[in-house]
Amino acid sequence: MSEEVRGIEGLTLPMLVALGDKGVKTLDDLGDLASDELREIVGESTMDADTANAIIMKAREHWFPAADPASDEAAKA
């Protein structure tokens, strides 16, 4: 299990163990899940859909470069 996944807020130790057992060990693995898949792995009674979506989007953050306001202004010019 990557340190980045372990550091995601909202994932408890039992959830991390369940994810690891299913081969979800990196941010990319976690980001590739749909919310219903994540909830099925960790237990639907332990996580609602909104929380699952937030965790997945957090895992996907590294897929999208941070917007640089200076480059945005240059692109508009």
Q: Nearest to residue 20, comparing CAs of 8, 5, 9?
A: 5
The model's confidence at residue 60, banded by pLDDT at 50, 70 and 90, is very high
Q: What is the mean pLDDT of residues 37-64?
A: 95
pLDDT at 19 over 80: yes
With residues binned 3-state (H G I as helix, E B as strand, rest as coil), the percentages for the chain, rounded to 5, are 70, 0, 30
Domain 3-76 maps to which CATH number in 1.10.3470, 1.10.150, 3.40.50, 1.20.140?
1.10.150
The C-alpha torsion from 13 through 21 and 39 to 47, rounded to 10°, is: -10
Average pLDDT, the chain: 90
Residue ranges per structural domain of the chain? 3-76
Residue 48 pLDDT > 80, yes or no? yes
Of 77 and 58, the one with more pLDDT: 58
* pTM of the predicted structure, to 2 decimals: 0.81
Read off the pLDDT band of 43 (50, 70, 90).
very high
